[in-house]
Amino acid sequence: MGGDPKNFNKLDLYKLPSPCFVIDKRALIDNLLTLHQLKSQTGVKILVALKAFSTPYFGPLISEYLDGCCSSGLYETKLAKKYFKGEISTFSPAYKKDDIKEIVNLSDLIIFNSSNQLNEFYNIAIKFKKEIGLRINPLYSEINNYKYNAASINSRLGMHLNDLDNIDLNKLNGIHFHTLCEQNFTPLENTWNKIKNDIVPFCKQLNWLNLGGGHHITRNDYEINKLETFLKQLADETSCQIYIEPGEAVVLDSGILIGEIIDSFKPSNELSPNIAVTDISAVSHIPDVIEAPYRPALLNEPKNGYKFILGGPSCLAGDIIGEYNFKSTPNVGDRIALLDQAHYTMVKTSFFNGVKIPSIAIWDSNNNNLEVIKRFTYEDFENKLS
């Protein structure tokens, strides 16, 4: 996770509804420029991972800089076709028979997760003249959190590398693997060094090699020069078109989540902490806070001060965002903002417990233009349940 405030100190939080996601268009463009330069320097094709960020409003902008989208099923594929331009690469752990024809028709590349599905749906992909790929599990990763380790021995994602001998390579145009999560360059290099002796012999029969996502390319300390060198060497070594699928890196530090303090109190028990209740819900708005778990950074948080536990408005006891320092006791009506909230947030929100989903606003920190593009209503809540 990031936590760079960028220009959000300049934004008047009180000009927006609460709660509200705010995307800084300028910060997003800065990330896209970094990725576009990487494309220009190396020839790599970059697809935005819609699972992380898929706001249709930004489809045309992102499409100006990147090569397309990677999707994970029918709905994301349809969204990509409608709002984005360029290639669509679709991967799913398993495709349903009811969906596969439409998915293949909309996609440019279709990636299968097992030999079973490759064999079952191969003729459909051939009929639509699509590029066909297979996801492999290299059984190597440097991710410590098992929830995000797609290359563990227990992972359902990808065929084990040593099972490739059982695949008819004539059916494949490419191979896909994904072993990273919010990581710098070295784990990617280590992954390739671990598997290249097994993969390179196959590459002469392939058109492309997809390195998946998890590359934190737009982070300040990312070793992008090393990545550039690696991608050039990889293309030469394999004679394949190289793809990467960043999600978080596309929107890193480009968004915040604005909330409002709706109560604060201190129980009489001296062991109890100070409590502040906000209209931001961890479970409904930023579920990774609970699932990962992690503590999002707070805009303008002092190093020391009055410590308060920030909690959400739902009835879930665990709807806790974290403990934070405040310059003074937070008052009802005070606005707060959590940093780096563009990715894996809007795509995961829910109406759990009837909690209101945050509005979505676009801000341009260059000229201070501000526009609320989406407000969720009671009717949205009711329609979801009806």
pLDDT digits (tens, 9 = 90+) for 228-281: 999 999 999 999 999 999 999 999 999 999 999 999 999 989 889 999 999 999
Number of domains within the chain: 2
The residue out of 251, 284, 308 marking a domain boundary is 251
Query: Around 347, how many Cα atoms within 13 Å sit in the side-chain half-sphere?
Result: 19
The residue out of 189, 222, 251 marking a domain boundary is 251
Owning domain of residue 163 = 43-251
Same domain, 79 and 191: yes
Q: Considering the chain, what is the average pLDDT of its residues?
A: 97
Token pair of 353, please?
């417990």
The separation between the first and the last C-alpha atoms of the chain, rounded to the nearest angstrom, is 36
Q: Residues 143, 145, 146, 149: is their CA dihedral positive or negative?
A: negative
Same domain, 150 and 293: no
Same domain, 310 and 341: yes
At position 6, the amino acid (one-letter code) is K
Residue 1 scores a pLDDT above 80? no
Assess if residue 55 is contained within a domain. Answer: yes
Whether omega before 293 lies within 30 degrees of 0, making that bond cis, reads yes
Give the predicted TM-score (pTM) of the model: 0.96
Q: Residues 11, 17, 21, 22: is their CA dihedral positive or negative?
A: negative
pLDDT by residue (tens digit) across 321-371?
999 999 999 999 999 999 999 999 999 999 999 999 999 999 999 999 999
Is 42 in a helix, a strand, or coil? helix
Instruction: Read off the CATH number of the domain in which 71 is found.
Output: 3.20.20.10
